[in-house]
Amino acid sequence: MSDPSAHEESHLKVLRLLDSNPLMSQRDLSDALAISLGKTNYCIKALLDKGFIKMQNFRNNKNKLAYVYLLTPLGIEQKSRMTVEFLQIKVQEYEHLRLEIAGLKQEAEQNSLREQQ
C-alpha cells in the first residue's frame, strides 16, 4: 500500500480507541485493529512524533506502574479533522461497495438461472 491514507486511517483508529480508553496497551490495540504488535508500535511512535498523543506513566489503585496514552490538544484537533476527512472517503467506499454488490447479485442470479436450464 503506497496509499498515504492507509497509514492515516490506522492513525485515526488509534486516536479514536485511545480517546475512548487511554489505558489500552499496544497489544490491546493490535488486537482491536487486527494488526501486528510491531506495526502498532510503529504507529504509536508516529503519533508521539507528531505530537498527537503523549505517553504518561501512572500508578493505578493497585500500585501497578503502567502507561496511559493521552491525546494532546493537537491530537484532539487532528482527530476531528481526520474524522471528517474519512467520513467523506467512507461514504464513497460505501457507494462503491453498493454498486459492487449490485453487480455480484445480478451475476449470481444469472448463474442460478443458467443452472436451472
Partner DNA sequence: TATAGTGCGTTCAATTACTGAACGCGTTAT
Partner DNA sequence: ATAACGCGTTCAGTAATTGAACGCACTATA
**Beta strands, E only, 2-114:** 53-59, 65-71
User: Least distance from C-beta 44 to DNA, angstroms?
Assistant: 6
Query: Can residue 5 be called a binding residue for DNA (CB under 7 A)?
Result: no
Distances (CA, A) of 12 to 7, 54, 87: 9, 15, 11
Query: Can residue 80 be called a binding residue for a copy of itself (CB under 8 A)?
Result: yes
Residue among 31 and 107 whose Cβ is closer to a copy of itself: 107
Q: Other C-beta atoms within 10 Å of 71: how many?
A: 19
* Identity of the amino acid at 93: E
Of positions 21, 38, 104, 107, contacts DNA by CB under 7 A: 38
H or E stretch covering 87: helix 73-116
Looking at residues 54 to 93 of the shown chain, list those that interact with DNA (rule: CB under 7 A).
55, 62-67
Half-sphere exposure of 98 (CA within 13 A, CB side): 6
What residues does 53 pair with on adjacent strands? 71
Of positions 5, 8, 9, 35, contacts DNA by CB under 7 A: 35
Query: Can residue 116 be called a binding residue for DNA (CB under 7 A)?
Result: no
Query: Can residue 105 be called a binding residue for a copy of itself (CB under 8 A)?
Result: yes
Residues of this chain that interact with a copy of itself (CB under 8 A) are 16, 80, 83-84, 86-87, 90-91, 93-94, 97-98, 100-101, 104-105, 107-108, 111
